[in-house]
Amino acid sequence: MSFNRFGHILQITTFGESHGPAIGCVIDGFPPGVQISAEEIHAALIRRATGRSRHTSQRREAEDVQILSGTFEGVTTGTPIALVVYNTDAKSKDYTRIAQQFRPGHADYTYHHKYGIRDWRGGGRSSARETAMRVAAGSLAAKYLAQKFGIRITAWLSRLGDQICDDRFVPESVDDNPFFCPDPHKVEDLERYMDALRKEGDSVGALVRARAEGVPPGWGAPVYAKLDAELASAMMSINAAKGVEVGAGFASVVQKGTEHRDEITPEGFIGNHAGGVLGGISSGQPVTVAVAFKPTSSLRLPGRTVDTDGNPVEIVTTGRHDPCVGIRAVPIVEAMMALVLMDQYLLHRAQCGDVGEQSPRVE
């Protein structure tokens, strides 16, 4: 009942707090026979990590992962895979000033009222530090999907505040800059934009898009485990996520049916407004999602709040924080998409076996 686990057949349980000794996860239901290593998981964690540019929090974690179980001679055994990463750069003293205050826009107030106690050091369990383990687990799922189906998942920063980042789309450029921006010509503009924002002491939101290519048709369910519903739930579980679109999303409101319906020809679909999902089941087209992230709430600009006794106080949040949490959300969105897709494949195989594998398909 504590809801620290997600997934149906592929189940991920995460544990740990931002300033606790370690964070970790247990991956249950992962198939045997897959070669994995701590080095490849570490590489995925570094993509998400803070302190790799001046545009994120300057907390610098080593992100050295230990595989505690679930493998033998570097190959998965089908038993639970336990991963742990020890926190090495937590500075809890940065938060002692506000231990008795509720930070606006954070989970401080709601955690206090739900549990009657909260870990005020960096947000404790509500910190985005927890998402490192999602990325760790997601890197294994992405590897499995790529090897078995040739599925390729790509996420990128589509919008940073009022800056459009993907007018031009060069997939190879996503990992060549600190913004995960697919337009190499836009990076200098984003650098200036973030430098100005940091000087102001303010923050901004972001829009992250993701696409999974090579997903076979047939994954998902018609009613209560719709692929798009599972994706939306997974994306909304990410810290600071405030909105999710699948395919055309909210733009479909102003589309007419003749435009939105993605007609089908022997050569393939005409358009992909449905985002690769029809009736909750994958169509074989690229699966596309977009996730909106709110601005960071930890600011050095004074704001109004109350303390734990209900008294009005002024708050200034010191410490190391991201001017835009959405930047580092790119690998997290990728990871959550990989975990959902792998789980949906395992569900499909459990119910339907090889049904549909030989059926003709269009893309």
Chain CA centroid to CA 119, Å: 23
Minimum mean pLDDT among 15-24, 53-62, 111-120, 249-258: which range? 53-62
Look at the block and give the residue holding tokens 């190959």: 75
The closest alpha carbon to 147, from 73, 75, 197, belongs to 75
Q: In this model, does residue 96 exceed pLDDT 90? A: no
Residue 352 above 60 pLDDT? yes
User: What's the confidence (pLDDT) of residue 219?
Assistant: 97
Q: How confident is the model at residue 97 (pLDDT cuts 50, 70, 90)?
A: confident
pLDDT at 59: 61
Confidence of residue 28 (pLDDT cuts 50, 70, 90): very high
Q: How many CA atoms lie within 13 A of 195 on its CB side?
A: 6
pLDDT for 94 equals 65
Higher pLDDT, 80 or 354: 80
What would the two tokens of residue 299 be? 């600011």
- pLDDT tens digits for range 165-200: 999 999 999 999 999 999 999 999 999 999 998 888
Percentage of the chain lying above the pLDDT 70 cut = 92
pLDDT at residue 79 greater than cutoff 60: yes
How confident is residue 161, by pLDDT bands cut at 50, 70 and 90?
very high
Quick one: pLDDT band at residue 128, thresholds 50, 70, 90? confident
Mean pLDDT for 355-360 is: 66
pLDDT band at 320 (very low <50, low <70, confident <90, very high): low
Name the pTM for this structure: 0.92
Cβ-based burial of 356 (10 A; exposed 0-12, middle 13-18, buried ≥19): middle
Most confident of 92-96, 199-203, 310-314: 310-314
3-state SS track over 163-202: EECCCCCCHHHHHHCCCCCCCHHHHHHHHHHHHHHHHHCC
Q: In Å, what is the CA distance from 302 to each residue of 103, 227, 313, 315?
A: 11, 43, 10, 6
- How crowded is residue 68: how many other Cβ atoms within 10 Å of its Cβ? 13
Which of 103-107, 291-295, 321-325 ranks highest by mean pLDDT?
Answer: 291-295
Is the pLDDT reported for residue 34 higher than 80? yes
Residue 19: CB atoms within 10 A of its CB come to 20
What mean pLDDT is predicted for residues 301-310?
89
The mean pLDDT value of the chain amounts to 91
For 53-64, what is each residue's pLDDT tens digit? 676 665 667 789
> What pLDDT band is residue 12 in, cutting at 50, 70 and 90?
very high
Q: Which residue has the higher pLDDT, 315 or 356?
A: 315
Query: Which candidate, 80, 52, 86, places its Cα nearest to that of 327?
Result: 52
Structural domains in the chain?
5-352 (3.60.150.10)
pLDDT at 224 exceeding the cut of 70: yes
pLDDT at 139: 98
Q: Which pLDDT does position 63 carry in this prediction?
A: 85
pLDDT at 249 over 80: yes
Q: In what order do the strands lie in the sheet with 241-246?
A: 163-164, 152-160, 206-213, 287-293, 241-246
pLDDT score recorded for residue 171: 92
Three-class DSSP labels, the chain: CCCCEECCCCEEEEEECCCCCEEEEEEECCCCCCECCHHHHHHHHHHHCCCCCCCCCCCCCCCCEEEEECEECCEECCCCEEEEEECCCCCHHHHHHHCCECCCCCCHHHHHHHHCCCCCCCCHHHCHHHHHHHHHHHHHHHHHHHHHHCCEEEEEEEEECCEECCCCCCHHHHHHCCCCCCCHHHHHHHHHHHHHHHHHCCCCCEEEEEEEECCCCCCECCCCCCHHHHHHHHHHCCCCEEEEEECCHHHHHCCCHHHHCCCEECCEECCCCCCCEECCEECCCCEEEEEEECCCCCCCCCEEEEECCCCEEEECCCCCCCCCHHHHHHHHHHHHHHHHHHHHHHHHHHHHCCCCCCCCCCC
